Amino acid sequence: MTKKLLFVCLGNICRSPAAEGIMKHLVQEAGLGQEIFCDSAGTSNYHIGELPDSRMMMMARQRGIHLESQARQLHPEDLEKFDLILAMDKDNLADICRLDPHQKYQDKIKLMCDYCQTSDLQEVPDPYYGGKHGFELVLDLLTDACQGLLNSLSVKK
């Protein structure tokens, strides 16, 4: 059975598409492409249909990661469709939880940084208004968290 992962940030143009791209890359490297499906979404409707931020795409590409998703907004049905919903920060987490007023899906909504292996940050900072260092930090943090997430999944090759 395929595990379905959804990465969520505010606009779905920086952090969540980067997490999706990194996870897809790690999944392919592990030969688990048939076992794990990845997608991303934003809690807002600011950037629907847009490609990831060009700065994030460029910096990810320098690491061999290709970001190909188009921004979309998170919908209530996503809570049922996906096995794990990973919020980039606590505001995103709260927005996701608001779509689940009866708390039916709370056990599958997590913070991305819960899976970090080396970083002690609790949230993935939004690099949108920052410089190159902010994007590098986010990519490092997401790589750490995605590797931890992959290690935690009970998928066998």
Catalytic residue among 15, 116, 144, 146: 15
Do 56 and 75 form a contact (C-beta atoms < 8 A)? no
9 included as an active-site residue: yes
**Helical ranges in 12-153 per DSSP H:** 15-29, 54-61, 76-81, 90-98, 132-152
Catalytic residue among 9, 14, 113, 116: 9
126 included as an active-site residue: yes
116 included as an active-site residue: no
Distance CA 141, CA 124 (A): 7
Do 20 and 42 form a contact (C-beta atoms < 8 A)? no
Catalytic residue among 53, 78, 89, 126: 126
Residues designated as active site:
9, 15, 126
